[in-house]
């Protein structure tokens, strides 16, 4: 069901498009995309929209993005094999969305992003996806998706509890959620500040907030575990960055090093697939389910 952000009514998606049959609200279009938070479309308080072009150039060859995509696709297949539709909140340039759409051709995919600068890249990468401009704190769906998701998004938002509540509301009863977030506050560095993170998570914090939103957790594991010592060394060096500090330097890995690092993360995925929940790591992966019946 779609949810009108003006009057709060819900209505069938296929029958009315985006126009609310109760109050006649029809979201404006910005750069061709339905805009549910147009006042935020050009803002960059949670993320530097000027970096979308650079991310779009770097993601497809960077070991971390590539390995994370494969982990996400494994989790989607493992925990939600019957999913028919999928929402990614904070889809950015569409790198995850295009991977999901390509791996699961029968899955209907929708992407939401607050900054319209990212949606143009996403439209080119995932041409069959439905794309909308929206605020993660006000998702215009209710009980619609078999799987909802946000990958390295909620750490940018002060009120992450509101986002988790909206993800819960937009998931269908019995549906699920996938999240990734950065882990360990002790890794905080100039990188996080420049990325406009509000926090890095502890596993217990993410678990508690997810359960408080109403979800039941089915998997919580760290990843980027084997590279954690190198992350600490890198982030320690960033505690006092120079004037020439490049916040995207960690994404510009030389090819001779990128491949081996990717194989290390592939090994971690083998361990996770075998049933292990890794106790520490630079990031967390969480899979959760919305109960089929209200508690």
Q: What percent of the chain has pLDDT over 90?
A: 84
* Overall average pLDDT of the 108-115 stretch: 97
pLDDT tens string 133-150: 999 999 999 999 999 999
| Rounded-to-integer distance, Cα 60 and Cα 102, Å | 14
Predicted confidence (pLDDT) at residue 243 exceeds the cutoff of 90: no
User: Which letter, b or e, does each residue of 193-229 get, where b requires 16 or more Cβ atoms within 10 Å of its Cβ?
Assistant: ebbebebbbebebbbebbeebbbeeeebbbbbbebbe
- Output the DSSP codes for 219-256: EEEEES-TTHHHHHHHHHHTTS--TT--TTGGG---HH
Neighbouring C-beta atoms of residue 291, cutoff 10 Å:
13
Task: Please report, in angstroms and rounded to a whole number, the separation of the first and last CA atoms in the chain.
Answer: 21
In angstroms, the CA 107 to CA 219 distance is: 22
pLDDT over 70, % of the chain? 96
Does the structure show a pLDDT above 80 at 218? yes
User: What is this structure's pTM?
Assistant: 0.95
Rounded average pLDDT over 197-212: 98
Residue 45: predicted pLDDT: 64
pLDDT, position 294 = 63
Q: What is the pLDDT of residues 19-35, one digit of tens each?
A: 999 999 999 999 999 99
């Amino acid at each position: 069901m779609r949810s009108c952000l003006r009057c709060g009514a819900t209505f069938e998606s296929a029958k009315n498009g985006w126009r609310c049959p109760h109050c006649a609200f029809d979201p404006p279009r910005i750069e061709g995309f339905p805009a549910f938070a147009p006042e935020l479309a050009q803002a960059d308080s949670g993320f530097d929209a000027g970096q979308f072009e650079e991310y779009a150039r770097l993601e497809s060859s960077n070991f971390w993005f590539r390995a994370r995509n494969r982990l996400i696709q494994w989790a989607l297949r493992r925990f939600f094999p019957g999913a028919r539709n999928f929402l990614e909140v904070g889809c950015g340039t569409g790198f995850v969305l295009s991977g999901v759409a390509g791996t699961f051709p029968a899955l209907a995919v929708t992407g939401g992003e607050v900054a319209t600068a990212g949606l143009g890249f996403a439209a080119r990468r995932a041409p069959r996806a439905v794309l909308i401009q929206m605020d993660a704190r006000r998702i215009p769906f209710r009980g619609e998706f078999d799987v909802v998701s946000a990958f390295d998004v909620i750490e940018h938002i002060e009120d992450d509890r509101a986002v988790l509540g909206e993800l819960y509301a937009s998931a269908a009863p019995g549906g699920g959620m996938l999240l990734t977030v950065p882990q360990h506050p002790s890794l905080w560095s100039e990188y996080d500040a420049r990325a406009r993170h509000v926090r890095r998570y502890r596993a217990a914090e993410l678990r508690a907030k997810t359960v408080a939103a109403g979800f039941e957790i089915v998997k919580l594991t760290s990843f980027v575990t084997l590279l954690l010592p190198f992350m600490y060394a890198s982030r320690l060096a960033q505690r006092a960055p120079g004037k020439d500090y490049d916040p995207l330097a960690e994404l510009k890995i030389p090819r001779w090093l990128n491949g081996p690092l990717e194989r290390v993360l592939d090994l971690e995925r083998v361990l996770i697939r075998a049933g292990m929940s890794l106790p520490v790591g630079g990031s967390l992966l969480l899979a959760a389910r919305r109960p089929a019946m209200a508690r």
